[in-house]
Amino acid sequence: MNTSNGTSKTTSAYFVQTAIAFGVSFLAALGGILFLPLDPWQRLFLGISVLFMVSSAFSLAKVIRDLQEASTVRVRLDEARVEKLLAEHNPYAGVG
């Protein structure tokens, strides 16, 4: 669904589905770590690996979103306007 300014809007149903999928997958990974017949150091290694994978997934999603937002026409037009204003601005005009 697109809004009038060209940005996409996530529906609440998609948000809920994504949050539930994340929760189920995270709990399944933790359950597997807890109930597998492993030594404590192996459990800790798997736990740290899962936490690192989750934080990396969040970081990757943020980077992809930021790159997508930076490439929109609206952002590029705003940047061009700011550059034009800065180029035309003379802080020493009227001083003297």
DSSP string, 27-88: HHHHHHHHHS---HHHHHHHHHHHHHHHHHHHHHHHHHHHHHHHTSHHHHHHHHHHHHHHHH
pTM: 0.62
Q: Mind listing the pLDDT tens digit for each residue in 16-44?
A: 999 999 999 999 999 999 999 999 999 99
**Distance (Å, whole) CA 27 – CA 21:** 10
Average pLDDT, the chain: 86
